[in-house]
Amino acid sequence: MNIMKFNRSIFPADSVEKYFETYLCQIEKLYHDFSKMPERQTIYFLSEKEFKKLLKNPQKIKEATAYIVYEVYNRFQFLFFTNLFKLLKYIESLIYSWNSQNYLGWVLFGRAVIELCAVFNYFDQKLNKYDLLRTDFTHEEISNIENILIQYSHGTRFDWNALIEGDFEKLKQEFEAKGEFRQATNVLTTIDKLKKLGPAFHDVRTVYDILSDYAHPNMGSHSIFIDLPHKIQDPMPNHLSLNVNQQRGEFIIVTSLVQITICLTYCGHLLQELAKVLKVWGGYSEDKTFSIRFKDTIAVLKKK
């Protein structure tokens, strides 16, 4: 993978050193470290119906335990690799936007980074209630973990089946998700939960709202194409420009870079923690047995 870097000559050297350098180095390090991961991964899922059928059949559970564990493991992989790939592509997009002085692109991708971090954290908190590094679970716990992972993978606000089938008339009348799809979690709910993590995220909702105003066709998005004046005068000229001056670009970066870096870094932390879960569920833990407890029986998987 080609390692990308921020162009340090876009802004004055003293500004870069004082306001930006620490955060740019952190983002570049994240990109360098995580770009070493595989760029492709093939994953197989059991259908939700088949999975529930296995869990409800204690007579066959001993022979089906491997399928159950492997299914959940694959869904953990899906959580890991989708967030990994998004992290890398968002960083690439931020670097490209910075280097090309495309500040509209910067705010769009910066806003998306906050959403990525918030949603990843939301599902991480839900899953961590089950102490995922264990190898002994009740079948109810396994079912709940699977449901959370399906909510992550299939959460949407759109009826994709109708679109795939070409039923546009149906979509005109109703396009909400249904069937095997789940209603997507409201992103503002996840951002508000992210804010509660600690002081580092105290300003996350404020910065998100600023980036949203930049991203939407509001006053913020207009200002991305108006040079920041060197001095205040009356009347104040508005110099519209496809590529705004250095001062406007610096203003946009200053208001957003710190929180974007914090969110990217936390995504990296969540990926590292999830990698530990993958080792356990993938059979690489020191404990080579995996148990699923039912009311009248215990199914044990011996990992080789």
What pLDDT sits at residue 102?
95
Q: Cα separation of 243 and 266, whole Å? A: 32
Element (H, E) at 104: helix 103-128
State which H helix or E strand residue 220 sits in.
helix 219-223
C-alpha–C-alpha distance, residues 274 and 249, integer Å: 36
**Omega before residue 235 within 30° of 0, cis:** yes
pLDDT band at 230 (very low <50, low <70, confident <90, very high): confident
The answer to whether 70 and 58 have CB atoms below 8 angstroms apart is no
Residues whose CB is less than 8 angstroms from the CB of residue 64 and which lie 6 or more positions away in sequence, other chains included: 54, 57, 299
Average pLDDT over residues 70-78: 94
Indicate whether 231 pLDDT > 90: no
pLDDT tens digits along 249-286: 899 999 999 999 999 999 999 999 999 999 999 876 66
pLDDT value at residue 287:
67
**Which residues are CB-neighbours of 124 under 8 A, at least 6 positions away?**
270, 273, 274
* CA dist., res. 221 & res. 103, Å (int): 10
Structure tokens given for 203 = 């300003």
Neighbours of 139 (CB within 10 A): 19
Strands 289-293 and 298-302, bridge-based pairing: antiparallel
Q: What is the mean pLDDT of residues 286-297?
A: 77
Predicted TM-score (pTM) of the model is 0.89
Check whether 42 has a pLDDT greater than 80: yes
Measured CA to CA in angstroms, residue 68 lies from 17, 74, 212, 297, 304 at distances of 52, 10, 41, 16, 16
Is 261 strand, coil or helix? helix
The CA distance from 112 to 211, in Å, is 9
Q: What percent of the chain stands above pLDDT 70?
A: 85
Quick one: pLDDT at residue 152?
Answer: 93
Reported as a pLDDT band with limits 50, 70 and 90, residue 301 is confident
- Which residue has tokens 């953990």? 76
**Residue 300, both tokens:** 């044990």
**If you average pLDDT over residues 211-223, what whole number do you get?**
89
Q: State the average pLDDT for the chain.
A: 87
pLDDT score of 86 more than 60: yes
pLDDT, average across residues 84-90: 98
* % of the chain residues with pLDDT over 90: 58
Give the sign of the dihedral formed by CA 104, CA 107, CA 109, CA 112.
negative
- The pLDDT score that the predictor gives to residue 206 is 96
pLDDT at site 35: 94
- Tokens 């998004």 identify what position? 86
Do the beta carbons of residue 10 and residue 101 sit within 8 Å?
A: yes
**Max CA pair span of the chain:** 84
pLDDT at 58 over 70: no
The DSSP letter of residue 293 is E
Q: For residue 288, give the DSSP letter.
A: -
- Residue 228 pLDDT grade (very low, low, confident, very high; cuts 50, 70, 90): confident
The tokens describing 125, both together, are 């908190």
CB-side neighbour CA atoms (13 Å) of 4: 18
To the nearest 10°, report the CA torsion of 277, 279, 281, 286: -110
Q: Is residue 20 over pLDDT 80?
A: yes
What band does 66 get if pLDDT is binned at 50, 70 and 90?
confident
Which of 74-88, 150-164, 201-215 comes out lowest in average pLDDT? 150-164
What Rg value do the Cα atoms of the chain yield, rounded? 23
What pLDDT is stored for residue 171 in this prediction? 57
